[in-house]
Structure 1
Amino acid sequence: MKKMIYALFFGDSITYGEYDGVFGGWVDILKRYALQKFHEGSNEVIVYNLGIGGETTEGLIKRMPHELDARNSAEGNVVFIAYGANDLAIKNGSQMVAPDQFRENILTAIQYAKQFTNDVYLISILPFSKNVDGVQVASGKLRTNSEVLVYNKILQDIALENSFMYIDFYTAFLEDKEILLSQDGVHPNEKGYGMMAEIAIPIIEKYL
């Protein structure tokens, strides 16, 4: 008997797939992959792309209980949490979400997720291009790669403490980031999103 499993991807514009006019981003690639596998006889994994551009963990914890309530499969749920690129940004002289608050918010999000599933994945923040590292961009945000390391360490530690899997896109991007990031230096390009999907497909396959 085939099962219907919901995979919920919470995140910002990188989850949403911004700047990818070809594939629609890594989560949408996973959505198509899961659908194809279902047609071939696998379990049905329904992928929900719940990415919102510009969102921080402050927005996540406000909407997460409602999103989870609205999408709860009796046969199984998987939750992916991908935040930090906006939280760590400095805007108008202060960080949008300071590291300690970021940690608290992620822990709150995990508590919400645990009411629906034990399968929670925390996703690393990507490195930024050298062109935007420490540079205030048009949106007024300033981001640094040194802060990425601080926030990723928080995510890694939480994953370890809770026996969750940490998906390390950061390391995968680091060496070739100038090739894998779009011109804005923050979002992946089609090649970058494609690589993210390749890394995540084996995780999705566990539920198929």
Structure 2
Amino acid sequence: METASGAADEKHPSLWLDSSARYGLVSRFLHWSIAYLLIWQMVTLLGWRLIGDGPFMRSVSELGPYHGTVGVLVLSLGVARLVWAIANRHRRPPYDRTVSGLIARLAHELFYALMIAIPAIALLRAYGKGRGYEQWGLQLVPKTDTEIAWMMAPADALHGLLAWTFGALIAGHVGMAFWHRIVRRDGVLRRMAGTLKPA
């Protein structure tokens, strides 16, 4: 049975919290911050791969955060986003009870897993190599000067593969967002990009 306060919350949802009709300010901030970081990461990686080392790519790289910085930020924001998603799990827009809804749910769960796993295994490798990792003047991973093979193995084997898989998933996610907007015109994109006012 729904309480009076619960009914009021549904009629006048907080702009910060998610609701059944749209995502709130916190979810949107986390979503678009991570989206920027991941797209920047993929663009610069593709640039280095296609153009190679040189003055142009070095200049471009100066325009945004470096590879390791992006990883730390995505890991931090990814964990925050996962915690926030769990806290808002009963408020969020529901998935369609169709095959496409199931695929969307699995894709989002894979997003969370990759956001955390890819940078986490890179930090594990930094520890395993003994070199540690420092960011913003903080020693996030201690330097030991001792190599530990099993700590390096996951990132050596999977970091690049998972990153390109993530890139393909991002491209598919963007494509589906436009498909919902242009072909289906069902308002799915407005949940994360539209008005925050109650419908």
Question: Considering the TM-score relative to the shorter chain, is it more than 0.5?
Answer: no
What TM-score does the superposition give when structure 2 sets the normalisation length? 0.29
**Which of the two has higher C-alpha Rg?**
2
Higher helix share: 2
What TM-score does the superposition give when structure 1 sets the normalisation length? 0.28
Higher strand share: 1
